[in-house]
Amino acid sequence: MTFSVTSVLLLTVLIFEIVAGILMLIGVYYLLTESTSSVAKVGLEFAAITLLMLLIGQRLAKDYASAMSLAVYFILTILGLYLLN
């Protein structure tokens, strides 16, 4: 069974996105019950890393319109990290 580079990168992005989503769900629970934001911060950091991976992929594919729309989500993620401090 051979995997192409694209398959490995897609699997990597998928794993990062799933981990970010799980961490954010747990983070929301901790924010509501214990008022701690450490897990939510880690989830947002994973989301920011995932968005950076997607942004780099869009730029390499020269799909600048999609990269521009992803940049908006990245800015919102960074704003969320700033507000949790």
The pLDDT of residue 45 is 96
The pLDDT of residue 24 is 95
The pLDDT of residue 17 is 96
Tokens of 24: 């954010």
Query: Residue 45's domain spans which residues?
Result: 5-84
3-class DSSP state of 3? coil
Rounded to whole angstroms, what are the CA distances from 19 to 26, 27, 38? 11, 12, 15
pTM of the model: 0.88
Tens-of-pLDDT digits for all 85 residues of the chain? 667 888 898 999 999 999 999 999 999 999 999 999 999 999 999 999 999 999 999 999 999 998 999 999 999 999 999 998 8
The pLDDT of residue 72 is 94
Per the structure, the count of domains in the chain is: 1
